[in-house]
Structure 1
Protein backbone atom coordinates (compact mmCIF):
# COMPACT_ATOMS: atom_id res chain seq x y z
CA UNK A 1 0.00 0.00 0.00
CA UNK A 2 1.50 3.34 -1.03
CA UNK A 3 0.69 6.34 1.10
CA UNK A 4 -0.03 10.04 0.70
CA UNK A 5 1.23 12.33 3.45
CA UNK A 6 -1.59 14.89 3.45
CA UNK A 7 0.19 17.45 5.63
CA UNK A 8 3.87 18.40 5.72
CA UNK A 9 5.97 21.55 5.61
CA UNK A 10 9.20 22.82 4.07
CA UNK A 11 10.61 26.12 5.27
CA UNK A 12 13.64 28.34 5.62
CA UNK A 13 13.57 30.59 8.73
CA UNK A 14 15.98 32.98 7.00
CA UNK A 15 13.02 34.08 4.86
CA UNK A 16 11.81 36.00 7.91
CA UNK A 17 8.06 35.49 7.54
CA UNK A 18 7.49 32.76 10.15
CA UNK A 19 6.35 34.98 13.01
CA UNK A 20 5.13 32.06 15.11
CA UNK A 21 8.48 30.24 15.09
CA UNK A 22 10.65 30.49 18.24
CA UNK A 23 14.02 31.78 17.06
CA UNK A 24 16.06 29.50 19.32
CA UNK A 25 14.04 26.28 18.98
CA UNK A 26 16.56 23.60 18.01
CA UNK A 27 13.88 21.47 16.33
CA UNK A 28 11.90 24.09 14.44
CA UNK A 29 14.17 27.05 13.73
CA UNK A 30 16.27 25.48 10.98
CA UNK A 31 15.70 24.95 7.26
CA UNK A 32 13.76 21.87 6.14
CA UNK A 33 13.61 20.82 2.51
CA UNK A 34 12.83 17.82 0.29
CA UNK A 35 16.25 16.24 0.84
CA UNK A 36 15.54 16.03 4.58
CA UNK A 37 12.22 14.25 4.12
CA UNK A 38 13.07 12.02 1.16
CA UNK A 39 14.53 9.10 3.22
CA UNK A 40 11.50 9.10 5.54
CA UNK A 41 9.07 8.99 2.63
CA UNK A 42 10.95 6.15 0.97
CA UNK A 43 11.14 4.12 4.16
CA UNK A 44 7.37 4.21 4.67
CA UNK A 45 6.12 3.94 1.11
CA UNK A 46 4.90 7.54 0.94
CA UNK A 47 5.15 8.58 -2.69
CA UNK A 48 3.15 11.83 -2.64
CA UNK A 49 2.75 14.67 -0.15
CA UNK A 50 0.62 17.76 0.35
CA UNK A 51 2.89 20.73 1.14
CA UNK A 52 1.16 23.21 3.46
CA UNK A 53 1.94 26.88 4.08
CA UNK A 54 3.52 27.98 7.36
CA UNK A 55 3.68 31.76 6.87
CA UNK A 56 0.90 34.31 6.22
CA UNK A 57 2.47 35.68 3.05
CA UNK A 58 1.87 35.16 -0.65
CA UNK A 59 5.65 35.18 -1.07
CA UNK A 60 5.94 32.01 1.01
CA UNK A 61 3.24 30.35 -1.08
CA UNK A 62 5.21 31.19 -4.24
CA UNK A 63 8.35 29.80 -2.58
CA UNK A 64 6.48 26.53 -1.90
CA UNK A 65 5.21 26.36 -5.48
CA UNK A 66 8.82 26.68 -6.62
CA UNK A 67 9.75 23.72 -4.43
CA UNK A 68 6.78 21.79 -5.80
CA UNK A 69 7.92 22.46 -9.38
CA UNK A 70 11.28 20.85 -8.59
CA UNK A 71 9.99 18.03 -6.37
CA UNK A 72 7.94 15.22 -7.99
CA UNK A 73 6.82 13.88 -4.59
CA UNK A 74 4.94 17.12 -3.86
CA UNK A 75 1.52 16.51 -5.37
CA UNK A 76 -0.18 19.64 -4.06
CA UNK A 77 0.43 22.95 -2.31
CA UNK A 78 -1.93 24.56 0.19
CA UNK A 79 -1.03 28.24 0.29
CA UNK A 80 -2.22 31.55 1.70
CA UNK A 81 -3.93 34.72 0.55
CA UNK A 82 -5.06 37.73 2.58
CA UNK A 83 -8.76 37.28 3.31
CA UNK A 84 -8.80 40.83 4.71
CA UNK A 85 -8.00 42.23 1.26
CA UNK A 86 -10.68 41.56 -1.36
CA UNK A 87 -8.14 42.47 -4.05
CA UNK A 88 -6.48 39.15 -3.24
CA UNK A 89 -9.20 37.47 -5.29
CA UNK A 90 -6.91 38.28 -8.22
CA UNK A 91 -3.95 36.75 -6.37
CA UNK A 92 -6.00 33.62 -5.71
CA UNK A 93 -6.93 33.38 -9.38
CA UNK A 94 -3.25 33.71 -10.36
CA UNK A 95 -2.14 31.05 -7.89
CA UNK A 96 -4.96 28.74 -9.00
CA UNK A 97 -3.44 28.66 -12.48
CA UNK A 98 -0.53 26.62 -11.07
CA UNK A 99 -1.26 22.93 -11.54
CA UNK A 100 -0.13 22.00 -8.01
CA UNK A 101 -1.96 24.79 -6.15
CA UNK A 102 -5.05 23.28 -4.53
CA UNK A 103 -6.24 25.68 -1.83
CA UNK A 104 -5.47 27.94 1.09
CA UNK A 105 -5.04 27.89 4.84
CA UNK A 106 -5.76 31.09 6.79
CA UNK A 107 -3.72 30.93 10.01
CA UNK A 108 -6.79 31.28 12.21
CA UNK A 109 -5.10 29.75 15.26
CA UNK A 110 -2.82 32.82 15.39
CA UNK A 111 -5.56 35.46 14.93
CA UNK A 112 -6.57 37.18 18.18
CA UNK A 113 -10.22 37.68 17.20
CA UNK A 114 -11.97 34.33 17.65
CA UNK A 115 -14.82 35.62 15.46
CA UNK A 116 -12.52 36.68 12.62
CA UNK A 117 -13.97 34.14 10.20
CA UNK A 118 -17.46 35.60 10.71
CA UNK A 119 -16.42 39.12 9.69
CA UNK A 120 -18.21 40.48 6.65
CA UNK A 121 -15.00 41.64 5.00
CA UNK A 122 -13.50 38.13 4.79
CA UNK A 123 -16.55 36.32 3.38
CA UNK A 124 -15.44 36.88 -0.21
CA UNK A 125 -12.60 34.44 0.43
CA UNK A 126 -14.81 31.46 1.23
CA UNK A 127 -17.00 32.13 -1.81
CA UNK A 128 -13.96 32.56 -4.05
CA UNK A 129 -12.67 29.12 -3.02
CA UNK A 130 -15.99 27.62 -4.14
CA UNK A 131 -15.96 29.60 -7.40
CA UNK A 132 -12.42 28.46 -8.23
CA UNK A 133 -12.92 24.86 -7.00
CA UNK A 134 -10.22 25.26 -4.35
CA UNK A 135 -9.98 23.85 -0.84
CA UNK A 136 -9.86 25.31 2.67
CA UNK A 137 -7.61 23.84 5.34
CA UNK A 138 -9.28 24.81 8.63
CA UNK A 139 -6.58 25.55 11.19
CA UNK A 140 -7.74 26.42 14.69
CA UNK A 141 -8.47 25.27 18.21
CA UNK A 142 -11.56 23.73 19.84
CA UNK A 143 -12.73 27.26 20.72
CA UNK A 144 -13.20 27.83 16.97
CA UNK A 145 -15.43 24.80 16.36
CA UNK A 146 -18.72 26.69 16.73
CA UNK A 147 -17.71 29.34 14.22
CA UNK A 148 -16.27 26.80 11.79
CA UNK A 149 -19.61 24.98 11.97
CA UNK A 150 -21.33 28.23 11.02
CA UNK A 151 -18.99 28.81 8.06
CA UNK A 152 -19.15 25.22 6.82
CA UNK A 153 -22.96 25.23 6.89
CA UNK A 154 -23.18 28.70 5.31
CA UNK A 155 -20.89 27.61 2.46
CA UNK A 156 -22.15 24.07 1.97
CA UNK A 157 -20.25 23.65 -1.33
CA UNK A 158 -16.90 24.57 0.24
CA UNK A 159 -14.35 21.74 0.13
CA UNK A 160 -12.93 21.89 3.64
CA UNK A 161 -10.65 19.75 5.79
CA UNK A 162 -10.04 20.24 9.51
CA UNK A 163 -6.33 20.31 10.29
CA UNK A 164 -4.96 18.22 13.16
CA UNK A 165 -8.44 17.19 14.42
CA UNK A 166 -8.78 20.86 15.52
CA UNK A 167 -5.89 20.49 17.98
CA UNK A 168 -7.63 18.83 20.94
CA UNK A 169 -5.74 19.59 24.21
CA UNK A 170 -4.80 15.95 24.80
CA UNK A 171 -2.32 16.79 27.56
CA UNK A 172 -5.17 18.28 29.64
CA UNK A 173 -7.83 15.61 29.13
CA UNK A 174 -6.82 13.60 32.20
CA UNK A 175 -7.33 16.50 34.61
CA UNK A 176 -10.19 18.09 32.66
CA UNK A 177 -12.43 15.45 31.05
CA UNK A 178 -14.95 18.16 30.19
CA UNK A 179 -12.42 19.50 27.66
CA UNK A 180 -12.59 16.22 25.75
CA UNK A 181 -16.39 16.33 25.87
CA UNK A 182 -16.52 19.89 24.51
CA UNK A 183 -14.09 19.06 21.69
CA UNK A 184 -15.90 15.82 20.85
CA UNK A 185 -19.32 17.50 20.75
CA UNK A 186 -18.06 20.25 18.44
CA UNK A 187 -16.44 17.75 16.10
CA UNK A 188 -19.57 15.61 16.05
CA UNK A 189 -21.71 18.59 14.99
CA UNK A 190 -19.38 19.35 12.10
CA UNK A 191 -19.15 15.69 11.06
CA UNK A 192 -22.93 15.26 11.08
CA UNK A 193 -23.99 18.63 9.62
CA UNK A 194 -21.33 19.23 6.96
CA UNK A 195 -19.22 17.42 4.40
CA UNK A 196 -15.94 18.43 6.04
CA UNK A 197 -12.98 16.07 6.05
CA UNK A 198 -10.54 15.73 8.96
CA UNK A 199 -6.76 15.31 9.08
CA UNK A 200 -5.41 12.55 11.30
CA UNK A 201 -2.29 14.56 12.08
CA UNK A 202 -0.68 16.87 14.59
CA UNK A 203 -1.84 14.95 17.65
CA UNK A 204 1.48 14.18 19.33
CA UNK A 205 2.27 17.87 19.67
CA UNK A 206 -0.95 18.34 21.65
CA UNK A 207 0.05 15.55 24.06
CA UNK A 208 2.68 15.38 26.80
CA UNK A 209 6.31 14.61 25.97
CA UNK A 210 5.84 11.08 27.34
CA UNK A 211 2.70 10.50 25.25
CA UNK A 212 1.36 7.01 24.66
CA UNK A 213 -1.06 5.44 22.20
CA UNK A 214 -3.66 5.39 24.97
CA UNK A 215 -3.45 9.20 25.15
CA UNK A 216 -4.23 9.52 21.45
CA UNK A 217 -6.73 6.71 21.04
CA UNK A 218 -9.88 8.52 22.34
CA UNK A 219 -9.31 11.27 19.77
CA UNK A 220 -8.65 8.99 16.81
CA UNK A 221 -11.55 6.68 17.69
CA UNK A 222 -13.96 9.61 17.93
CA UNK A 223 -12.84 11.13 14.63
CA UNK A 224 -12.98 7.81 12.79
CA UNK A 225 -16.41 7.01 14.21
CA UNK A 226 -17.97 10.39 13.43
CA UNK A 227 -16.31 11.31 10.12
CA UNK A 228 -15.82 7.79 8.78
CA UNK A 229 -12.71 6.60 6.98
CA UNK A 230 -13.87 8.22 3.73
CA UNK A 231 -13.45 11.68 5.30
CA UNK A 232 -10.29 11.11 7.36
CA UNK A 233 -6.81 11.54 5.85
CA UNK A 234 -3.44 10.83 7.42
CA UNK A 235 -0.69 13.42 7.60
CA UNK A 236 2.63 13.69 9.40
CA UNK A 237 2.77 17.42 10.22
CA UNK A 238 6.52 16.99 9.70
CA UNK A 239 8.72 18.66 10.84
CA UNK A 240 6.47 20.04 13.61
CA UNK A 241 5.84 16.46 14.74
CA UNK A 242 9.54 16.24 15.64
CA UNK A 243 8.78 18.22 18.81
CA UNK A 244 7.29 14.96 20.14
CA UNK A 245 7.98 12.17 17.66
CA UNK A 246 10.13 11.27 14.68
CA UNK A 247 8.49 10.56 11.33
CA UNK A 248 9.05 6.86 12.03
CA UNK A 249 7.39 7.05 15.44
CA UNK A 250 4.33 8.89 14.13
CA UNK A 251 3.88 6.45 11.25
CA UNK A 252 4.17 3.51 13.65
CA UNK A 253 1.68 5.09 16.07
CA UNK A 254 -0.76 5.80 13.24
CA UNK A 255 -0.53 2.23 11.99
CA UNK A 256 -1.19 0.90 15.48
CA UNK A 257 -4.16 3.23 16.01
CA UNK A 258 -5.78 1.96 12.81
CA UNK A 259 -4.65 -1.68 12.91
CA UNK A 260 -8.14 -2.88 13.89
CA UNK A 261 -9.62 -1.64 10.62
CA UNK A 262 -9.93 -3.68 7.40
CA UNK A 263 -7.21 -3.04 4.83
CA UNK A 264 -9.60 -1.21 2.50
CA UNK A 265 -10.51 1.25 5.27
CA UNK A 266 -6.86 1.84 6.16
CA UNK A 267 -6.17 2.55 2.49
CA UNK A 268 -8.84 5.26 2.61
CA UNK A 269 -7.14 6.94 5.59
CA UNK A 270 -3.60 6.69 4.23
CA UNK A 271 -4.34 7.32 0.55
CA UNK A 272 -7.92 7.50 -0.71
CA UNK A 273 -9.37 10.38 1.28
CA UNK A 274 -6.52 12.79 0.50
CA UNK A 275 -6.49 11.75 -3.16
CA UNK A 276 -10.22 12.39 -3.45
CA UNK A 277 -10.35 15.61 -1.41
CA UNK A 278 -7.42 17.36 -3.10
CA UNK A 279 -8.20 15.79 -6.50
CA UNK A 280 -4.68 14.41 -6.81
Structure 2
Protein backbone atom coordinates (compact mmCIF):
# COMPACT_ATOMS: atom_id res chain seq x y z
CA UNK A 1 0.00 0.00 0.00
CA UNK A 2 1.27 3.47 -0.89
CA UNK A 3 1.89 6.05 1.81
CA UNK A 4 -0.79 8.17 0.12
CA UNK A 5 -3.37 5.40 0.58
CA UNK A 6 -3.28 5.71 4.38
CA UNK A 7 -6.29 7.37 6.03
CA UNK A 8 -5.32 10.75 7.45
CA UNK A 9 -6.62 14.05 8.75
CA UNK A 10 -4.60 17.23 8.26
CA UNK A 11 -4.93 19.16 11.52
CA UNK A 12 -3.41 22.47 10.49
CA UNK A 13 -4.45 24.26 7.29
CA UNK A 14 -5.40 27.83 6.46
CA UNK A 15 -7.78 29.27 3.86
CA UNK A 16 -6.96 32.56 2.10
CA UNK A 17 -9.56 33.73 -0.42
CA UNK A 18 -9.30 37.53 -0.65
CA UNK A 19 -11.20 37.66 -3.95
CA UNK A 20 -14.36 36.53 -2.13
CA UNK A 21 -13.46 37.56 1.42
CA UNK A 22 -11.23 40.68 1.46
CA UNK A 23 -8.63 40.98 4.20
CA UNK A 24 -9.08 43.28 7.16
CA UNK A 25 -7.65 46.74 6.58
CA UNK A 26 -5.52 46.48 9.72
CA UNK A 27 -4.00 43.08 8.98
CA UNK A 28 -0.24 42.97 9.72
CA UNK A 29 0.41 40.75 6.68
CA UNK A 30 -1.45 40.24 3.42
CA UNK A 31 -0.84 36.77 1.93
CA UNK A 32 -0.71 36.79 -1.86
CA UNK A 33 0.46 34.76 -4.86
CA UNK A 34 1.50 31.22 -3.94
CA UNK A 35 0.42 31.82 -0.34
CA UNK A 36 -3.25 31.99 -1.33
CA UNK A 37 -5.38 28.88 -0.99
CA UNK A 38 -9.14 28.59 -1.34
CA UNK A 39 -11.27 25.85 0.16
CA UNK A 40 -11.80 24.33 -3.29
CA UNK A 41 -8.04 24.27 -3.94
CA UNK A 42 -7.42 22.60 -0.58
CA UNK A 43 -10.00 19.92 -1.38
CA UNK A 44 -8.08 19.12 -4.59
CA UNK A 45 -4.83 18.81 -2.65
CA UNK A 46 -6.50 16.60 -0.05
CA UNK A 47 -7.97 14.30 -2.68
CA UNK A 48 -4.60 13.94 -4.41
CA UNK A 49 -2.82 12.91 -1.21
CA UNK A 50 -5.44 10.80 0.55
CA UNK A 51 -6.34 13.42 3.17
CA UNK A 52 -9.94 12.70 4.09
CA UNK A 53 -10.56 15.62 6.47
CA UNK A 54 -8.86 18.82 7.59
CA UNK A 55 -8.86 21.16 10.56
CA UNK A 56 -8.93 24.73 9.25
CA UNK A 57 -7.21 27.27 11.49
CA UNK A 58 -8.24 30.90 11.28
CA UNK A 59 -5.07 32.87 10.50
CA UNK A 60 -3.75 35.91 12.35
CA UNK A 61 -2.63 37.31 8.99
CA UNK A 62 -5.29 38.52 6.62
CA UNK A 63 -8.40 37.79 8.64
CA UNK A 64 -7.71 37.43 12.39
CA UNK A 65 -11.18 37.76 14.04
CA UNK A 66 -13.04 37.98 10.70
CA UNK A 67 -14.19 34.35 10.45
CA UNK A 68 -16.43 34.68 7.39
CA UNK A 69 -14.02 32.88 5.06
CA UNK A 70 -13.55 30.07 7.60
CA UNK A 71 -17.27 29.62 8.25
CA UNK A 72 -18.03 29.64 4.51
CA UNK A 73 -15.60 26.75 4.00
CA UNK A 74 -17.11 24.83 6.91
CA UNK A 75 -20.61 25.28 5.55
CA UNK A 76 -19.61 24.41 1.97
CA UNK A 77 -17.76 21.22 2.94
CA UNK A 78 -19.28 20.16 6.28
CA UNK A 79 -18.19 16.52 5.94
CA UNK A 80 -14.57 17.42 5.18
CA UNK A 81 -13.72 20.32 7.49
CA UNK A 82 -13.79 21.42 11.11
CA UNK A 83 -12.52 24.84 12.20
CA UNK A 84 -10.49 26.74 14.76
CA UNK A 85 -11.55 30.39 14.90
CA UNK A 86 -9.78 33.52 16.09
CA UNK A 87 -11.96 35.70 18.34
CA UNK A 88 -11.68 38.61 20.73
CA UNK A 89 -11.29 37.62 24.38
CA UNK A 90 -14.59 39.33 25.23
CA UNK A 91 -16.66 37.45 22.64
CA UNK A 92 -20.24 36.82 23.76
CA UNK A 93 -21.46 33.34 24.62
CA UNK A 94 -24.12 33.43 21.88
CA UNK A 95 -21.56 34.30 19.19
CA UNK A 96 -19.23 31.55 20.40
CA UNK A 97 -22.12 29.07 20.32
CA UNK A 98 -22.98 30.13 16.78
CA UNK A 99 -19.42 29.42 15.69
CA UNK A 100 -19.59 26.00 17.32
CA UNK A 101 -22.85 25.26 15.51
CA UNK A 102 -21.14 26.19 12.23
CA UNK A 103 -18.43 23.57 12.72
CA UNK A 104 -15.86 25.48 14.80
CA UNK A 105 -14.37 23.19 17.46
CA UNK A 106 -12.05 25.65 19.17
CA UNK A 107 -10.38 29.05 19.40
CA UNK A 108 -6.80 29.90 18.47
CA UNK A 109 -4.54 32.05 20.67
CA UNK A 110 -1.25 33.24 19.19
CA UNK A 111 1.13 34.45 21.93
CA UNK A 112 3.97 33.86 19.46
CA UNK A 113 2.81 36.99 17.63
CA UNK A 114 0.70 38.80 20.24
CA UNK A 115 2.36 38.07 23.59
CA UNK A 116 1.51 35.85 26.57
CA UNK A 117 -0.93 38.38 28.08
CA UNK A 118 -3.37 37.44 25.31
CA UNK A 119 -3.79 34.07 27.06
CA UNK A 120 -3.38 35.19 30.66
CA UNK A 121 -6.23 37.69 30.20
CA UNK A 122 -8.59 35.12 28.66
CA UNK A 123 -9.81 33.31 31.79
CA UNK A 124 -13.51 33.89 31.09
CA UNK A 125 -13.13 32.80 27.48
CA UNK A 126 -11.29 29.63 28.54
CA UNK A 127 -14.14 28.85 30.95
CA UNK A 128 -16.70 29.31 28.17
CA UNK A 129 -14.69 27.05 25.86
CA UNK A 130 -14.65 24.37 28.55
CA UNK A 131 -18.42 24.69 29.07
CA UNK A 132 -19.03 24.34 25.33
CA UNK A 133 -16.55 21.44 25.04
CA UNK A 134 -14.38 23.41 22.63
CA UNK A 135 -10.59 23.55 22.42
CA UNK A 136 -8.12 26.30 23.23
CA UNK A 137 -5.33 26.17 20.64
CA UNK A 138 -2.14 27.95 21.74
CA UNK A 139 0.84 28.83 19.56
CA UNK A 140 3.91 29.74 21.59
CA UNK A 141 7.53 30.30 20.65
CA UNK A 142 10.80 29.89 22.52
CA UNK A 143 10.32 29.95 26.31
CA UNK A 144 6.76 31.37 26.36
CA UNK A 145 5.28 28.07 27.53
CA UNK A 146 7.40 28.26 30.69
CA UNK A 147 5.30 31.29 31.63
CA UNK A 148 1.95 29.90 30.46
CA UNK A 149 2.15 26.26 31.55
CA UNK A 150 1.23 26.76 35.25
CA UNK A 151 -1.78 28.88 34.25
CA UNK A 152 -2.87 26.52 31.46
CA UNK A 153 -2.57 23.50 33.75
CA UNK A 154 -5.22 25.03 36.04
CA UNK A 155 -7.75 25.60 33.26
CA UNK A 156 -10.52 23.03 32.70
CA UNK A 157 -10.39 23.34 28.92
CA UNK A 158 -8.75 20.88 26.51
CA UNK A 159 -5.65 22.45 24.98
CA UNK A 160 -4.05 22.06 21.56
CA UNK A 161 -0.35 22.96 21.47
CA UNK A 162 0.45 24.34 18.05
CA UNK A 163 3.53 23.39 16.00
CA UNK A 164 5.24 21.32 18.73
CA UNK A 165 5.55 24.41 20.94
CA UNK A 166 8.01 25.98 18.45
CA UNK A 167 11.21 25.43 20.46
CA UNK A 168 14.53 26.78 19.23
CA UNK A 169 16.11 23.68 17.75
CA UNK A 170 19.57 25.05 18.57
CA UNK A 171 18.89 25.13 22.33
CA UNK A 172 18.30 21.44 22.95
CA UNK A 173 15.56 19.34 24.51
CA UNK A 174 16.25 20.73 27.99
CA UNK A 175 15.33 24.34 27.14
CA UNK A 176 12.78 25.50 29.69
CA UNK A 177 10.00 26.34 27.23
CA UNK A 178 10.07 22.91 25.66
CA UNK A 179 10.25 21.20 29.03
CA UNK A 180 7.07 23.11 29.96
CA UNK A 181 5.42 21.76 26.80
CA UNK A 182 6.35 18.23 27.86
CA UNK A 183 5.01 18.81 31.39
CA UNK A 184 1.60 19.93 30.21
CA UNK A 185 1.08 16.43 28.84
CA UNK A 186 0.68 15.33 32.47
CA UNK A 187 -2.71 17.09 32.67
CA UNK A 188 -4.21 14.56 30.26
CA UNK A 189 -6.10 17.47 28.64
CA UNK A 190 -3.44 18.55 26.16
CA UNK A 191 -2.75 17.42 22.61
CA UNK A 192 0.25 18.52 20.57
CA UNK A 193 0.50 19.13 16.84
CA UNK A 194 3.51 17.51 15.20
CA UNK A 195 3.72 20.17 12.54
CA UNK A 196 5.38 23.40 11.45
CA UNK A 197 8.89 21.91 11.35
CA UNK A 198 10.16 24.74 9.14
CA UNK A 199 9.17 27.31 11.77
CA UNK A 200 11.78 26.20 14.29
CA UNK A 201 14.33 24.13 12.35
CA UNK A 202 17.72 25.61 11.53
CA UNK A 203 18.37 22.98 8.89
CA UNK A 204 16.61 22.71 5.53
CA UNK A 205 14.29 19.84 4.63
CA UNK A 206 14.12 17.14 5.99
CA UNK A 207 14.68 19.25 9.14
CA UNK A 208 16.62 16.54 10.96
CA UNK A 209 17.53 18.91 13.79
CA UNK A 210 13.88 18.89 14.96
CA UNK A 211 13.35 15.12 14.88
CA UNK A 212 14.50 14.70 18.52
CA UNK A 213 11.78 17.15 19.59
CA UNK A 214 9.13 15.15 17.75
CA UNK A 215 10.31 11.94 19.39
CA UNK A 216 10.32 13.58 22.85
CA UNK A 217 6.76 14.79 22.31
CA UNK A 218 5.65 11.32 21.24
CA UNK A 219 7.13 9.84 24.41
CA UNK A 220 5.52 12.46 26.66
CA UNK A 221 2.07 12.75 25.06
CA UNK A 222 1.69 9.35 23.42
CA UNK A 223 0.08 8.88 20.00
CA UNK A 224 -3.37 9.31 21.60
CA UNK A 225 -2.52 12.97 22.25
CA UNK A 226 -0.51 13.77 19.11
CA UNK A 227 -1.88 14.96 15.78
CA UNK A 228 -0.29 15.93 12.46
CA UNK A 229 -0.69 19.01 10.29
CA UNK A 230 0.83 20.27 7.04
CA UNK A 231 0.47 24.06 7.60
CA UNK A 232 -0.84 24.41 4.01
CA UNK A 233 -0.59 26.76 2.10
CA UNK A 234 2.74 27.39 3.86
CA UNK A 235 2.53 31.05 4.77
CA UNK A 236 5.94 32.79 4.97
CA UNK A 237 7.74 29.51 4.26
CA UNK A 238 11.54 29.91 4.11
CA UNK A 239 11.73 27.59 1.09
CA UNK A 240 9.45 25.82 -1.38
CA UNK A 241 7.16 23.34 0.40
CA UNK A 242 4.56 20.81 -0.69
CA UNK A 243 2.20 18.26 0.83
CA UNK A 244 3.85 15.14 -0.59
CA UNK A 245 7.34 15.69 0.82
CA UNK A 246 5.84 16.55 4.22
CA UNK A 247 3.95 13.25 4.27
CA UNK A 248 7.11 11.38 3.27
CA UNK A 249 8.98 13.21 6.05
CA UNK A 250 6.40 12.18 8.64
CA UNK A 251 6.80 8.56 7.56
CA UNK A 252 10.52 8.87 8.37
CA UNK A 253 9.90 10.48 11.75
CA UNK A 254 7.16 7.95 12.62
CA UNK A 255 8.05 4.76 10.71
CA UNK A 256 5.51 2.54 12.50
CA UNK A 257 2.36 2.48 10.35
CA UNK A 258 0.05 1.77 13.30
CA UNK A 259 1.45 4.71 15.29
CA UNK A 260 1.07 6.94 12.23
CA UNK A 261 -2.54 5.84 11.85
CA UNK A 262 -3.22 6.71 15.48
CA UNK A 263 -1.71 10.19 15.07
CA UNK A 264 -3.04 11.02 11.62
CA UNK A 265 -6.45 9.35 11.82
CA UNK A 266 -7.72 7.86 15.09
CA UNK A 267 -6.74 10.69 17.45
CA UNK A 268 -8.05 13.62 15.36
CA UNK A 269 -11.19 11.73 14.38
CA UNK A 270 -11.94 11.25 18.10
CA UNK A 271 -11.04 14.80 19.10
CA UNK A 272 -12.84 16.71 16.35
CA UNK A 273 -15.82 14.49 15.62
CA UNK A 274 -15.14 13.55 12.01
Instruction: Could you tell me which runs of 5 or more consecutive residues in structure 2 were left unpaired when the two chains were aligned.
Output: 1-5
Once the two structures are superposed, the pairs formed by residues 17-166 of structure 1 within 5 Å of their partners are 17=24, 19-21=27-29, 27-28=34-35, 31-55=36-60, 57-59=64-66, 61-72=67-78, 74-83=80-89, 85=90, 87-98=91-102, 100-112=103-115, 114-119=116-121, 122-155=122-155, 157-166=156-165
Q: Distance in 2 between matches of 1:212 and 1:180?
A: 22
Number of equivalenced pairs: 262
1:241, CA displacement in angstroms?
6.4
Match of 2:253 in 1: 257
Matched residue SS, 2:175:
helix
Q: Distance in 2 between matches of 1:74 and 1:169?
A: 34
RMSD: 2.4
Q: TM-score under structure 1 normalisation?
A: 0.84
Q: Distance in 2 between matches of 1:91 and 1:57?
A: 16
Q: Distance in 1 between matches of 2:235 and 2:51?
A: 16
Matched, 1:247 2:246: no
Q: Distance in 2 between matches of 1:103 and 1:184?
A: 23
Matched residue SS, 1:270:
helix
Matched residue SS, 2:130:
helix
Q: Distance in 1 between matches of 2:210 and 2:198?
A: 8
Q: Distance in 2 between matches of 1:216 and 1:241?
A: 19
Q: 1:200 to 1:241 in 2, by over 3 A?
A: farther
Q: Distance in 2 between matches of 1:242 and 1:257?
A: 24
Q: Distance in 1 between matches of 2:142 and 2:267?
A: 23
